[in-house]
Structures are given as structure tokens and as C-alpha cells.
Structure 1
Amino acid sequence: MTKITPLLILALLTFGCSESKPKSNSEEVIALRTELDGLKHLKAKTSKDTESQIATFLTFQENNAEEAMNFYVDLFENSKITDIQRYGKDGPAKEGTIMVAFFDLNGSKFACSDSYMKHDWTFTPGVSIWVECKTADEIDKLFTKLSEHGKVLMPLDNYGFSTKFGFIEDRFGVSWQLNFEKT
């Protein structure tokens, strides 16, 4: 299967537009520029989407995806929200809730959404986010913040496989494994 390039699409549009008999050459030029701009936007979006093919996706069922995302971005250094798409007033979910949002946590890609349907499943500790901490202060801070209104599954301790390790389910139900190795 061959790839259709933007140049080929532009050529097809040019021949297709020439059959539509525009009123003037300037209208044809405007139409072609509009189509070309659309293709450039599509190509840029496709390139952006393929920069990182893998991201952790978090599905929230209590309309708190934005709250969780903001909490995580504030908690981890070098983190930011990169894109938010919200449900509109005619959508299947509550207006303004997150259809899909993308964010980075210190170099790791994440996506999240507010599910408008209640599922039989939710988050599970069997799948968790592993964080390799650089300092003892960092692991202490993260453990304290993530465990607030959450559940400690394994308190911070030396378990033999790690100098300092903790396992938490945060207030949103997302599980985190925090690890610190003294060097």
C-alpha cells in the first residue's frame, strides 16, 4: 500500500478544483491555499501525534480528571499540560469535563479523560506508576502528598530490594510505587 503524500493530494485538488469552474483565478488561488493550509495542519498534527507513541492513559469516572491532572503536574518537577479537549454542551458528558487531555510528568507522557459512563472497572494496584526518586527528601515529599486522602499499600521502608520504597493508592485511585536508592 502506498502513502498518499500531501503533494499528491494537492495535485488531485488542483485538478478537481479546475473542474469546478470558479468565478475567477483569485477564487481558485484562495481555494487552493485554503486546502493547502488544511493539509499542512493535518501533516503537522500527524507528526506531533507520532512523536511519542506510548503514553499512560488514566480514565476517571467521577469527573475529576482535571483535578487529578493539575495535582500531578503541580507535584512533579518539569511537568506541564500539553493539550485539553473538553466536552461541549451537546456532548454525551457534562459540559466542560475532559474528553481527553495530555500532560507530561517530568518527561513521561500521560493522557486522561472523564468517562461519562460508569464502568464495572476502575484503577487497580496491579498496574501502577513507578517513580525513581533522586533524593530521600523527594521520596518523602511525594509519599506524603500522594498518600493524603489515599491509601498506603506499603509504607516507606527498606524492603531489601530497595533502600527506601513505598506503594500508595492516591485519592483518585491511581497507584504509585516510589523508589529511592542510596548511592
Structure 2
Amino acid sequence: MTDSSNENKAKGELLTFLTFQKEDAEQAMNFYVSLFDNSKVIDIERWGPGMPSKEGTIKYATFQLNGSLYMCSDSPPIHEWDFTPAVSNFVNCSDEAELESLFDRLAENGTVLMPLNNYGFSQKFGFVTDQFGVSWQLNLK
């Protein structure tokens, strides 16, 4: 599943970077890739023996979610900060079935910040923080 090319490391390219602190970066990445079409793991670099994090966890990984590039890692130091809903992934869903499926899967073992509803700015909208602490705004176009 790794791609050794440097196409995902272009100079000046912008990617969303997710820092995980519970050694669950790979689990989260694989979960997200399973949710969206046109998604895949592009490259994984793992922590090795004698390195500052648990051997085999993710040092850096690049993955694609519906065409958008992301990076993630299992952070060796535990920081005082973590993910916040103030920065979230916004997903325009093509139909109600997609919206409800994504909402249900992301909300499982997570926190619903705004249940699916019509809030006046969208036909149907929901806001969740998933089981890994990453926030998602789901919108029906």
C-alpha cells in the first residue's frame, strides 16, 4: 500500500495534518479511508527500533480522502493540546443516504455536537467528533 514516489511531497503543497497521541493513527486513517470513495493510503513510514515512539506506529503517513490529501502521525511526546471542533473537516454529501451513513459511522463511539437537522443554512446538517477526537461537519447540498 505504499507509494515511494514523491508526488505527494510537492514543494508548497498544502495537506491537513492529524497528530494522534494514543498510538491510533493507523486505525483512524484506515477508518477514514473506508468511509469515502476515491480514498486510499498512499505512503506509510513507521517508527523503528530505538526511535522515540513505539516501534511499528506511524511516524508519517499520507492518505487520500475523496481526492483530498492528509497526513498523520503517532506523536512521541504527549502534548497538552489535542484536536478541537474549531478546526473540522467539512463534507458536502450528495444525498441524504450518504449524509446519514457518514453521520452514523462517525458518531459511533464519538460525540454528537449538532444532531442531523435543518438549521436554516442547509437542508440537513450534522456536526460530530469521532472516536479519535477529529471533528466532522456533514452537509446535505
Given the two structures, how large is their TM-score scaled by the length of structure 2? 0.94
Larger radius of gyration: 1
Corresponding residue number in structure 1 for 2:136: 176
Corresponding residue number in structure 1 for 2:49: 89
Of the candidates 103, 116, 138, which is equivalent to residue 98 of structure 2?
Answer: 138
Bigger proportion of residues as strand: 2
Of the candidates 57, 69, 73, which is equivalent to residue 33 of structure 2?
Answer: 73
* CA distance 1:131–1:48, shift in 2 (3 Å): closer
The structural deviation recorded for 1:45 is: 5.5
| Structure 2: distance between partners of 1:90 and 1:79 | 32
The structural deviation recorded for 1:131 is: 0.3
Paired amino acid for 2:93: C
Paired amino acid for 2:124: K
| Structure 2: distance between partners of 1:124 and 1:78 | 26
| Structure 2: distance between partners of 1:111 and 1:170 | 17
Paired amino acid for 2:47: Y
Bigger proportion of residues as helix: 1
Of the candidates 122, 142, 150, which is equivalent to residue 110 of structure 2?
Answer: 150
1:58 aligns with 2:18: yes
Deviations 1:76-112 (A, max 9, x none): 1110000000000121100000000000000111000
| Structure 2: distance between partners of 1:76 and 1:166 | 17
1:160 aligns with 2:114: no
| Structure 1: distance between partners of 2:41 and 2:12 | 15
Paired amino acid for 1:127: V
Segments ≥4 residues shifted beyond 2 Å = 44-48
* CA distance 1:52–1:82, shift in 2 (3 Å): farther
Question: Which consecutive unaligned segments of at least 5 residues does structure 1 have?
Answer: 1-43
Q: Alignment length, in residue pairs?
A: 138
Q: For residue 82 of structure 1, give the secondary structure of its aligned residue in structure 2.
A: strand
The structural deviation recorded for 1:175 is: 0.2
The structural deviation recorded for 1:49 is: 1.7
| Structure 2: distance between partners of 1:62 and 1:157 | 32
Question: Which consecutive unaligned segments of at least 5 residues does structure 2 have?
Answer: none
| Structure 1: distance between partners of 2:10 and 2:133 | 29
Given the two structures, how large is their TM-score scaled by the length of structure 1? 0.73
